[in-house]
Every structure is written in C-alpha cells, then in structure tokens.
C-alpha cells in the first residue's frame, strides 16, 4: 500500500505536516494528505483547470515548512502553488494571465476520512468518507472517534468559491476565473485541524559551523533543516520525531540515539528527551503494552486507535535497548554539561531503569527480550522487523534473545553513571556499578566473541546458542566500549570487508549469510545512523582511517541526494562507479537518526 515517500513533497511545522505528489496534489494514496497528531485530516486535495491536471515544471520544499510548485496549464497559463505550515495549512494558488483573454474553471477536489495513522498504513480498519458541513462558504469535516475525541478539519477559501458540491460520494469547490494580460488570479485556501496541542513548542536545532569540508558543510545545513522539521510538540514539550510520514511521534530508542548524536552541538535536546521520557517511564506491569516498572517507552501515539485493541496499546514499551540508553544519555549529558539539577530531577528514574535492567537480566548477566503483548514487536532491538535476527544458516532465531549491542549499552550505562557518581563523591555507589560493568564486559567477550569470524555474535538465542551471524550490530560494541581492546582492530577490519562494506556504508548483514537480501529492511540494507555509530566506535578505538572511510561514503550518499540529506536507509547493493545508490522504496524522509548522524560524523572531522 505504501508508496515511496522519496517521491513526496513534504512540509511540516509543529504537529502539522503535509505530504503530496511533486505537483502538489494529494490523492489519498499511501502517505499523501494533511496530518496532525497521528490523524490524516485531509486525504484528497487535487487541482484541475478546465478538467485537466496542470503539468509540473518545478517543485521545491527546501525550507521545510514551505513549498513552491510551478505548473503549466496547457500552453497558455502558468500556475504557482505556494504553501506554508503555520498553526494551519495555507496554500495560495496563482494562475498567471497570458496575452490572450480567457475564462477558465479552477476546481479543487477534496476528501476526508479522519483516519488514524495505522488505518492509513493499512494496519487497521479505516473510517468511511465524511460529508462536510457547508458554513458560510467554508467546509467543515467532523468525526467523533472511537476514542471519544471530536476531530475536525475546517477549510476556508478566499475568494469564496463560485460553486460548492458536497455529497457523500464527492466534494469539490470551483472558481470561474477571467484571465488575460496582467489579470492574474489568486485563490487562498486555509485548512485548520483540531485538536492540536502546540503547548511548549519551541523548535531547537543544532547550530552549524563551517568545517572546511564542503560536502560535510552542505550535509550539515540539510540535516539542520530536517531536524527543525522533525521538532514536534508532545504534551507540553518539544521532541524530535522519528521520521515523516509514519513516525511523527515520540520513540524511545530513536529520540535517545538522536540526542546522543547531537549532544555536543545541542545538549538541550538531550535534556528535553530525558525529561520527556522520564515522565512516561513505566510504573506498572502491563503485558499488552510490554510494560514493566522502570522500562522506558518504545513508542507514544495520540490517534484514534492509540488505546484500541485493534493495534498496539500506547504508550508501548516493547524495546529492550531504550532503558539502558536512557541511563547512558543521562550520564553523558551530565558529564558534558555539568547540569546536576537535571540529573537530580531524573535520578529516581535512572535507578528505576537500572532496577528493571537488573531484574530482566538472566543468570549469565545478559539482558534479554521476549514479546508478551498480543500485537507487540517480535524483535525489540533496533532491528525490530520480525525476520531480522537470523543464524548464520539463515534460520530465524527464537527467544528470549540477548543482542550483542544491548549488552554494550548496559555496560556503557553503568560505566558512565559511575563517572557521574564519582564526581558527586558517591564513591561506593560508583565502585559497585563499575564492578558490575567490568564483570559484564569480560563475560560478554567470552560468550559472544567468534574468533573464527573476527566478530562478536549477533546474539544468544533462547537456548543460549550463539546467533553466529556477522552484522553491523557488532560495531555498536565499539561505540559502547564493551569490545576488548585486543579484538577491536580485528572487528574493525571485519566490518570493512567487502561482504559488509558496500561502498555506500556498512551493511546490516553480511552478504555471505543465506538470509542476506539487499532490499530487505534489516538483512543487508545500509542504515546511515548505524554506520555513524560504527564510525564513532572505530574512532573510539583509534581506527580513524576506517571511521573516515565510512564518513566519506555516507557523505557521498548525501551528495547524490538532491536535498543533500541522508535517507533513513538504502539498499545494500555493491557500489558501482558512476552510478547512484539504490534507494529503499518506503523510507521516511526526513528521518531523525539519519539527520543527526551527520553531526556525529562531523565530530570525526578533526
């Protein structure tokens, strides 16, 4: 059902965003439409002139919250569509007159179902088409949802339409326009969606400073624009949403890793992320939400189906890695900024998170996951597609699963928190955490290191057998510091071998694995944020040449993209000289991890 979001023209500010075809039309297919708070408020907005669709000449959504589209109406007239996102969606349509006087009819076709984002994706049943009320020339779509919330979309027009048609089957408005020399005609359309809660919205974006590397500088400017687009108000705080169009929401792992990448350039994003996630930390056991006391959430949704038995129950807590990442970010933020006040404010949540980690740890000292929710995620690490955790013979691993990178996250969380406690003269607490981390590090190496593959195993499965696949996950063990020093160089070389390094970045799975598929989500694709963490890990162990090689490849990806941005992911085909990378068909654009990873890569510049 999903169409390629790479083909969409996207504008966003705050909670409100639009996705259209490059000519500005929204047909209701895939992600096309106007959205707010996990609801598609308008699914169809299509313009015709005398029954014909204008021909696209150019389109740009570069500012992020604006777009300009230039079209030709036959051979006689040009049309310019200018849209901007403020507290509402505003579009002005100007048809320029030519040397010949002519009367034309501009029609705007409309439709709304007020569907939840999961219905738009085809994962739940949608609503019937709505028939709007006509109110003094304006149109009002309204629906009382299954959650009891009244949602509305109000459209106003200036000037008022010449004709309005509103039936259950079809809705459109029309203007009869007289065009001629110097007789341009402009129509303005305003769309207001409710309810929208913009309390506390204050877009925070990292500053961009020249690095001396033109490619890096261009990518930084594009990443800053993307992060500004993704800034989203959530219950009185501003967070960085995971990605447009499907993930304009608060995600634990995504928000935390984005904050890590931006910690040097914009530490306030880390602060807001920590406080926002702490406020929603699980306090009770709820199997349908995969919630247990102390866990940090995976995903928060606000649409009609957010608390429905038809889909996941939100907030949803089915993530094994967000909780240790939360602890580590709290420590890293405190050590970076010296903001002890924020640390003390979230400290009870830090200890609650550590309590969950220790409670969920098995007899071998490993943190594992296994789904409890009926609708929950089977895999609960960052590679959370159902077929992502595979053995070296291609078989899908069964749980409970202990992922290699998650053990590294736990190690880093305890080590960094120990550093904070040392600074606060809490020596005994620091020593206890550091001892736990050091024991985990030694046990981890013994359990996961595959000497014959120069790599850490992807995971241990439910029978405590190694999932002996070579994957990018092992590179996260460099980023966290759990990798033994004597293994780091061998692991770095393994990750840069031809079966893992595509020329565009690090593959998620080796091409030698029978389950390798370069067009899959997690079994051979290339994720820029993944490569960024691997590069940071290589640099941590002094393997700077390999780190810079990954950075160069990812900057090449950004250069190929007309917007100079990194996609969410790309296919894992081997790079061919003179040819662009193969785009993954349904990526989020923009996407927070990818945008933030540019700032992480910039830290390798010197």
How far is CA 15 from each of CA 38, 232, 236, rounded to the nearest angstrom?
9, 6, 12
> Structure tokens of 126?
């949608």
Give 264's Cβ-side CA count (13 Å radius). 12
- Band (pLDDT 50/70/90 cuts) for residue 402 is very high
- Band (pLDDT 50/70/90 cuts) for residue 236 is confident
Which is it for the CA torsion 440, 443, 446, 450, positive or negative?
A: negative
pLDDT for residue 561: 87
* Bridge partners for 467 per DSSP: 459
3-state secondary structure of 181: coil
Task: Say how far apart CA 103 and CA 450 lie, in whole Å.
Answer: 76
Which tens digits make up the pLDDT trace of 578-599? 999 999 988 888 999 999 999 9
How many C-beta atoms surround the C-beta of residue 173 within 10 A? Answer: 23
* Bridge partners for 561 per DSSP: none
How many C-beta atoms surround the C-beta of residue 58 within 10 A? Answer: 10
How far is CA 452 from each of CA 235, 395, 499, rounded to the nearest angstrom?
51, 20, 16
Q: Is the peptide bond before 590 cis (omega within 30 degrees of 0)?
A: yes
Which tens digits make up the pLDDT trace of 79-109? 999 999 988 999 999 999 876 778 899 999 9
Q: Is the peptide bond before 315 cis (omega within 30 degrees of 0)?
A: yes
Domain 5-194: give its CATH code: 2.70.98.40
pLDDT for residue 438: 98
Q: Are 232 and 248 in contact (CB under 8 A)?
A: yes
End-to-end CA distance of the chain: 45
379: left (phi over 0), alpha (psi -120 to 50) or beta: beta
Task: Give the residue-averaged pLDDT of 345-362.
Answer: 97
Q: Where are the alpha helices (DSSP H) in 251-293?
A: 252-261, 267-279
3-state secondary structure of 73: strand
* Bridge partners for 591 per DSSP: 243
> Structure tokens of 499?
């079966």
Q: Are 367 and 402 in contact (CB under 8 A)?
A: yes
Q: What is the DSSP string of 96-163?
A: E--SS-EEEEEEEEEE---EEHHHHTTSS--PPPP-PEEETTEEEEEEE-TTS-EEEEEEEEESPPSE
> Structure tokens of 397?
């691993």
Whether residue 372 is predicted with pLDDT greater than 60 in this model: the reply is yes
Task: Give the residue-averaged pLDDT of 124-142.
Answer: 94
Which tens digits make up the pLDDT trace of 294-323? 999 999 999 999 877 566 789 999 999 999
* Bridge partners for 570 per DSSP: 526, 583
Which fold does the domain 214-602 belong to in CATH? Glycosyltransferase (1.50.10)
Task: Give the residue-averaged pLDDT of 362-390.
Answer: 95
Task: Say how far apart CA 303 and CA 306 lie, in whole Å.
Answer: 5
Task: Say how far apart CA 264 and CA 471 lie, in whole Å.
Answer: 28
CA angle (317 as vertex; 314, 318 as ends), nearest 5: 115
pLDDT for residue 606: 52
Task: Say how far apart CA 15 and CA 103 lie, in whole Å.
Answer: 39
Whether residue 2 is predicted with pLDDT greater than 60 in this model: the reply is no
Whether residue 119 is predicted with pLDDT greater than 60 in this model: the reply is yes
Across 52-56, 265-269, 561-565, least confident range: 561-565
Task: Say how far apart CA 209 and CA 453 lie, in whole Å.
Answer: 41
338: left (phi over 0), alpha (psi -120 to 50) or beta: left
Task: Say how far apart CA 534 and CA 546 lie, in whole Å.
Answer: 10
Task: Say how far apart CA 61 and CA 77 lie, in whole Å.
Answer: 23
Task: Give the residue-averaged pLDDT of 197-224.
Answer: 88
Whether residue 284 is predicted with pLDDT greater than 80 in this model: the reply is yes
- Band (pLDDT 50/70/90 cuts) for residue 164 is very high
Task: Say how far apart CA 94 and CA 407 lie, in whole Å.
Answer: 58
Residue with tokens 């296919």: 571
Task: Say how far apart CA 334 and CA 417 lie, in whole Å.
Answer: 9
Average pLDDT, the chain: 94
Torsion of CA 421, 422, 424, 429, to 10 degrees: 50
How far is CA 397 from each of CA 474, 494, 515, rounded to the nearest angstrom?
17, 23, 12
* Bridge partners for 230 per DSSP: none
Task: Say how far apart CA 73 and CA 63 lie, in whole Å.
Answer: 26
Q: Are 105 and 49 in contact (CB under 8 A)?
A: yes
Torsion of CA 4, 7, 12, 17, to 10 degrees: -60
- Band (pLDDT 50/70/90 cuts) for residue 554 is very high
Task: Say how far apart CA 445 and CA 456 lie, in whole Å.
Answer: 8
Where in the chain do CATH 1.50.10.10 domains reside?
214-602
Across 52-61, 199-208, 398-407, least confident range: 199-208
Q: Where are the alpha helices (DSSP H) in 501-603?
A: 528-540, 544-560, 592-602
Q: Where are the alpha helices (DSSP H) in 361-480?
A: 404-423, 427-448, 473-480
Going by the DSSP 8-state scheme, the letter that residue 192 receives in this structure is E
Long-range Cβ pairs for the range 194-197 (8 Å, 24+): 194/151, 194/152, 194/153, 194/154, 195/37, 195/149, 195/150, 195/151, 196/14, 196/15, 196/16, 196/36, 196/37, 196/87, 197/15, 197/37, 197/233, 197/235, 197/236
Q: Strand 185-194 relative to strand 171-179: parallel, antiparallel, unpaired?
A: unpaired
Give 509's Cβ-side CA count (13 Å radius). 28
* Bridge partners for 30 per DSSP: none
pLDDT for residue 1: 26
> Structure tokens of 142?
């309204």
Which residue, among 16, 281, 40, 297, has the nearest Cα to 143 in the 3D structure? Answer: 40
Task: Say how far apart CA 30 and CA 20 lie, in whole Å.
Answer: 10
- As a three-state string, the secondary structure of 153-177 is EEEEEECCCCEEEECCCCEEEEEEE
Whether residue 413 is predicted with pLDDT greater than 70 in this model: the reply is yes
Task: Say how far apart CA 127 and CA 150 lie, in whole Å.
Answer: 14
Where in the chain do CATH 2.70.98.40 domains reside?
5-194
């Amino acid at each position: 059902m999903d169409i390629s979001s790479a083909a969409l023209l996207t504008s966003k500010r705050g909670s409100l965003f639009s996705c259209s075809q490059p000519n500005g039309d929204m047909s209701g297919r895939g992600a096309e439409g106007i959205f707010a708070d996990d609801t598609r408020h308008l699914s169809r907005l299509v313009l015709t002139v005398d029954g014909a669709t204008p021909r696209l000449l150019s389109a740009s959504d570069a500012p992020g919250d604006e777009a300009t589209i230039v079209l030709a109406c036959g051979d006689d007239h040009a049309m310019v569509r200018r849209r901007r996102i403020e507290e509402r969606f505003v579009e002005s349509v100007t048809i320029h007159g030519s040397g010949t006087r002519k009367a034309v009819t501009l029609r705007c076709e409309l439709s709304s179902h007020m569907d939840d984002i999961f219905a738009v994706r085809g994962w739940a049943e949608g609503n019937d088409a709505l028939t709007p009320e006509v109110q003094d020339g304006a149109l009002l779509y309204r629906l009382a949802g299954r959650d009891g919330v009244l949602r509305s979309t109000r459209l106003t027009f200036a000037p008022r339409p010449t004709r309005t048609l509103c039936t259950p089957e079809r809705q459109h408005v029309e203007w009869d326009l007289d065009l001629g020399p110097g007789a341009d005609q402009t129509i303005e359309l305003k769309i207001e969606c409710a309810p929208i809660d913009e309390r506390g919205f204050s877009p925070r974006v990292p500053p961009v400073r020249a690095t001396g590397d033109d490619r890096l500088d261009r990518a930084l400017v594009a990443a800053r624009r993307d992060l500004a687009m993704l800034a989203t108000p959530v219950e009185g705080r501003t967070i960085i949403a995971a990605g447009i169009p499907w993930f304009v929401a608060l995600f634990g792992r995504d928000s935390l890793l984005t904050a890590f990448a931006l910690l040097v350039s914009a530490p306030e994003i880390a602060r807001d992320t920590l406080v926002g996630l702490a406020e929603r930390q699980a306090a009770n056991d709820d199997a349908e939400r995969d919630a247990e006391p102390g866990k940090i959430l995976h995903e928060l949704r606000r649409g009609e189906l957010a608390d429905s038995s038809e889909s996941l129950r939100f907030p949803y807590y089915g993530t094994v890695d967000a909780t240790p990442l939360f602890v580590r970010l709290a420590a890293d933020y405190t050590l970076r900024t010296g903001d002890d006040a924020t640390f003390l404010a979230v400290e009870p949540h830090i200890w609650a998170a550590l309590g969950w980690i220790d409670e969920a740890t098995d007899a071998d000292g490993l943190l594992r996951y296994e789904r409890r929710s009926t609708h929950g995620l089977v895999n609960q690490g960052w590679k959370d597609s159902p077929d992502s955790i595979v053995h070296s013979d291609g078989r899908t691993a069964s749980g409970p699963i202990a992922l290699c990178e998650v053990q590294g996250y736990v190690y880093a969380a305890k080590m960094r928190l120990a550093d904070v406690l040392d600074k606060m003269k809490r020596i005994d607490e620091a020593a206890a955490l550091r001892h736990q981390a050091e024991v985990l590090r030694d046990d981890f190496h013994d359990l996961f290191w595959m000497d014959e593959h120069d790599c850490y195993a992807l995971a241990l499965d439910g029978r405590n057998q190694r999932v002996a696949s070579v994957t990018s996950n092992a590179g996260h063990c460099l980023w966290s510091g759990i990798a033994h020093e004597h293994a780091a160089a061998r692991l770095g070389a393994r990750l840069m071998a031809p079966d893992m390094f595509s020329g565009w970045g690090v593959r998620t799975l080796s091409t030698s694995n029978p389950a390798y598929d370069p067009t899959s989500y997690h079994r051979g694709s290339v994720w820029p944020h993944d490569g960024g963490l691997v590069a940071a890990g290589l640099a941590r162990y002094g393997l700077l040449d390999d780190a810079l090689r990954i950075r160069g490849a990812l900057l090449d990806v950004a250069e190929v993209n007309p917007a100079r941005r990194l996609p969410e992911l790309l296919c894992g085909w081997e790079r061919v000289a003179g040819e662009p990378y193969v785009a993954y068909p349904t990526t989020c654009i923009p996407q927070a991890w990818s945008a933030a990873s540019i700032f992480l890569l910039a830290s390798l510049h010197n």
